[in-house]
Amino acid sequence: MAFPQVEGVAPGSPAEAAGVRAGDEIQSVNGNRLRDVIDYHLAADDAVVTLELSWAGGVREVVVEKHAGEPLGISISAAIFDRVTTCDNHCAFCFIHQLPRGMRRSLYVKDDDYRLSFLYGNFTTLTRFTELDLERVVTERLSPLYVSIHATDPTVRAAMLRNRRGATSLRWLARLLDHGIEVHGQIVVCPGVNDGAVLSDTLAGILERFSRLATVGVVPLGVSRFSHEPSMRAHTRAEAAAVVECVEEWQGRFAATLGRRLVFAADEYYLLAGRTFPEPACYEGFALHENGIGMVAAFAEAFRADTGRRPPGADSFFRFIDGAPALGYRAARTAAPGDSGGVGPGSPPAPLTILTGAYGNQVLRPVLDAAGFGNVETVAVENTFFGGNIAVAGLLTFADLARSAACVPAGRRVLAPEVCLSNGRFLDGGRPEDLPRAVEFVAEDGDSLFRALTGRPRRRAAASAAREAR
């Protein structure tokens, strides 16, 4: 078991006052070895916290006195201190198997760890879940969790996971739901494998056995040019339309039976099928926002509205936990752009270009035109790095963005979605400061883009903030 290292200590925090220093290794808290940042959080909540720390070969004990529940003020180097539970499935559609060599090492870690499901929102198949795991989840109320279902037919699921335990591991999902754990499900649809009648059968199985699921997202597989699976291919337009129709039909059945829609199709399906997106209310709170479901409706609503409201995403517990390192999907992206320029109605025209993925361009162009931002240029950046059917903004790489940025004429202001960055780096390791020209990275919600375009907050939002301040 590795010991977590203190990466930083907040100025003026209880930890700083007690003498905790960056570089210290935490050997134990209150006499207990820690398995992960969840253990740390529970132990650090006490009013008196005893830390056994090692530094430069020596060991010392530090006692921190504070109010119960008050953060220690420590950031830690990792989320898991013992061994991450890795995935032993061999799914043909797994995107990690489709990554080229030479990328960041962390991208190749294929986990199936319920703790990372809780902390980051990673999806787990539960094929390596155990009775001890169930006991901890239930005792510590580690909720919500995110579970990959793919199919409820045992034979189909085992074949998709290429793991015989795939046929039986959904029993853990039933037990989690029995204990009142909030679980969100996901179905990755592979054409000719689990679409059509199999998808309908899966949704019927969910209604029969797992109706207490919080939500179920139906998403298309991504196929990069590095895929070695000849049976995996992108959806046709007709296949995408069939998935949308199946999901909407089952939404009606779930609503009639459970009083809620439960299942939702990914935004990509509506784009692929050329279908109109459902109204924002149909997404019932945008619980699957970060999984690419309802993002378009939320973006358009926020961009059009003058309330300044940012539609909620599926923010995880990990984002707020004291001591949590900024890792993975929910890592800090980059500094927010300053309020500069203005190109919208009532502002002097300014040349501006937005670089985004092919799907992002399909969404942005009509929204901008309808709102009077016709003078803003949008460019669909081709994802030549991954190729295949990869068209989402979150998988844009430095190489592709640099190529497109270099083609934008001098004198234009350039924006790009910050979702393609994690800890200030692109998937291929490049950094924004190395791009051939300055690019401002903007959060992917509509309100942030409005502020970046106009250089001003929403009028009603500003007035509301002023009233609250009074």
403 or 3, which is more confident: 403
Predicted pLDDT at 350:
56
| pTM for the model | 0.84
For the domain made up of 6-76, give the CATH fold: Pdz3 Domain (2.30.42)
Per-domain residue ranges of the chain: 6-76, 96-276, 328-454
| pLDDT at residue 262, rounded to an integer | 96
- CA 463 vs. chain centroid, Å, equals 32
**Mean pLDDT score, 191-207:** 97
Average pLDDT, the chain: 86
Cα separation, 363 vs 298, in Å, equals 11
Residue 337 is predicted with a pLDDT of: 39
- pLDDT score for 307: 39
Question: What pLDDT, on a 0 to 100 scale, did the predictor assign at position 454?
Answer: 83
Per-residue model confidence (pLDDT) at position 348: 45
Lowest mean pLDDT among 51-65, 91-105, 309-323, 438-452: 309-323
pLDDT at residue 388 in the model: 92
The 10s digit of each residue's pLDDT in 405-452 is 999 998 899 999 998 888 788 988 899 999 999 999 998 788 888 888
pLDDT digits (tens, 9 = 90+) for 329-346: 344 444 443 333 444 444
- Euclidean distance between CA atoms 224 and 182, whole angstroms: 33
Q: Once rounded to an integer, what is the mean pLDDT over residues 99-104?
A: 81
Cα 136 from Cα 125, distance rounded (Å): 18
Q: What is the CATH superfamily name and number for domain 96-276?
A: pyruvate-formate lyase- activating enzyme (3.80.30.10)
CB 316 within 8 A of CB 121: yes
For the record, the structure tokens of 236 come out as: 């046709």
pLDDT computed for residue 358 by the predictor: 92
The count of C-alpha atoms lying within 13 angstroms of the C-alpha of 352, restricted to the half-sphere facing its C-beta, is: 23
**Residue pair 298/446 in contact by the 8 Å Cβ criterion:** yes
pLDDT digits (tens, 9 = 90+) for 261-270: 999 999 999 9
Residue 332 pLDDT: 46
**Is the per-residue pLDDT at 384 higher than 90?**
yes
Residue 456 has pLDDT above 70, yes or no: no
Closest by Cα among 169, 157, 262, 254 to 218: 262
Return the ∠ at Cα 133 (arms to 33 and 288), rounded to 5°.
110
Residue 318 — very low, low, confident or very high, per pLDDT cuts 50/70/90?
very low
pLDDT computed for residue 292 by the predictor: 82
What percent of the chain is modeled with pLDDT above 90? Answer: 63
Q: Quick check: 248 pLDDT over 50?
A: yes
- What is the rounded radius of gyration, in angstroms, for the C-alpha atoms of the chain? 24
- Indicate if the pLDDT at residue 464 is higher than 50: no
pLDDT at 302: 80
Please determine, for residue 382, whether its predicted confidence score (pLDDT) is greater than 60: yes
Mean pLDDT score, 65-79: 90
Helices (H), 259-347: 267-273, 295-304
The pLDDT tens digits of the residues spanning 5-64 come to: 999 999 999 999 999 999 999 999 999 999 999 999 899 999 999 999 998 778 999 999
Confidence of residue 322 (pLDDT cuts 50, 70, 90): low
Pairwise CA distance, residues 98 & 85, whole Å? 21
At 323, the pLDDT band (50, 70, 90 cuts) reads: low
Residue 91: pLDDT over 90:
yes
